[in-house]
Amino acid sequence: MHTFVSIVIPMHNEAPVLSTLEARLNDVLKTLNIPVEIICVDDGSHDDTWAGLLAWQQRDPRLHLVRLSRNFGHEAAILAGLKQSKGDAIITMDADLQDPPELIPALLSEWEKGFEVVYAVREDRSVDTWLKRVTSDYFYKILNRLSTLDVPGNTAEYRLMSRRVVHILLSMPEKNSFVRMMTRWVGFSQTTIGYKREPRAAGVTKYNVWKLWNYALDAITGFSHLPLRIWSYVGIVISFSAFLYALVIIAMYFFVGRETPGYASLMVAVLFLGGIQLICLGIIGEYLGRVFMEVKGRPMYIVAETREGFAVKEEIHGP
């Protein structure tokens, strides 16, 4: 089979890891006897990432470089890379070597068995903080409940996708896609393989709690309407309880003749309902804001320049 593999790596200020990444990737690719392109997407780095990539390309013509006009975020950078990819199988991975390149042969062999999506699942996450592990576990539990997609937990962006799956992903009009979920949503035969999450090779994480929170909101609003719909049911329950309570008050007035207690119960009811209404409005706002983003139809990223690897073309198309 004449196969060609693309490896897509998003990078934001990753200059310190480039040399280790190059060495580790080369060691793995040497053992694989297939043509490869390595697509590195510079997602608006402020450090020497782009210069480092240009130097790497001089040593390795399999590199295909894409520079975005500013920082558009991890997912957008991945999509920019996917858009440029030409492989029959496309592997996405982080630059920081937390996703070990040594797993690439295993990903490929699952693909050769016929799987169209192969997720690399972090079986050992001892390098991540306790808080990150727990929140991520719950996040996937909630997400899977809400979306009924059953996305494997403990996955990052390390996975292999077939050309067909990538083609479908890229043809979706959504601007706010949570790539990990979209890949699941597409369907076809999918599988997972386990690996041990390694510590970052160098540099620092680009995520903070606020970014992760918004990421989680994107995922939930993108794949579930339950947060919008649930309020009608909450409303029904509250109205029904209020009706019962009204009957109790009336009954007490006639049979016991006691004055209804006023201030405290009134205050509690007002604050409780006010709070619920604000939460509900906020949730509508989350969805509305995303609808607004989609309607504007702005692109998810803007490419500033690309430097195609000069060896790739001859390798695929032959002399």
- From the CB of 167, what's the least distance to ligand UDP, in Å? 22
Phi and psi of 270, rounded to 5°? -65, -45
Stretch that binds Mg ion, among 28-36, 87-95, 181-189, 233-241 (CB under 5 A): 87-95
- Tell me if 12 contacts ligand UDP by CB under 6 A: yes
Say whether residue 154 binds Mg ion (CB under 5 A). Answer: no
| Residues paired with 314 in a beta bridge | none
Kindly report the backbone phi and psi dihedral angles of residue 68, in degrees, each rounded to the nearest multiple of 5, phi listed first: -85, 155
73 binds, among ligand UDP, Mg ion, none (CB under 5 to 8 A by kind): ligand UDP
Give the length of the chain: 319
Contacting range for Mg ion; rule: CB under 5 A; set: 89-97, 115-123, 235-243, 300-308: 89-97
C-alpha 145/C-alpha 142 separation (Å) is: 5
Residues of this chain, 19-78, that bind ligand UDP according to CB under 6 A: 43, 71, 73-74, 77
Residue 96 within binding range of Mg ion, rule CB under 5 A: yes
Q: How far is the CB of 97 from Mg ion (least distance, A)?
A: 8
Confirm or reject binding of residue 57 to Mg ion (CB under 5 A).
no
User: Cβ closer to ligand UDP: 116 or 179?
Assistant: 179
Nearest approach, Cβ of residue 78 and ligand UDP (Å): 8
User: What gap in Å lies between CA 7 and CA 83, rounded to an integer?
Assistant: 12
Reported for 288-292, long-range contacts at CB under 8 A and 24+ positions apart, including other chains, are 290/176, 290/218, 290/221, 290/222
Burial 281-313 (b: 16+ CB within 10 A, else e): eebeebeeebeeeeeeeeebbeeeeeebbeebe
Q: Which residues bind ligand UDP (CB under 6 A)?
A: 10-12, 14, 43, 71, 73-74, 77, 94-96, 98, 205-207
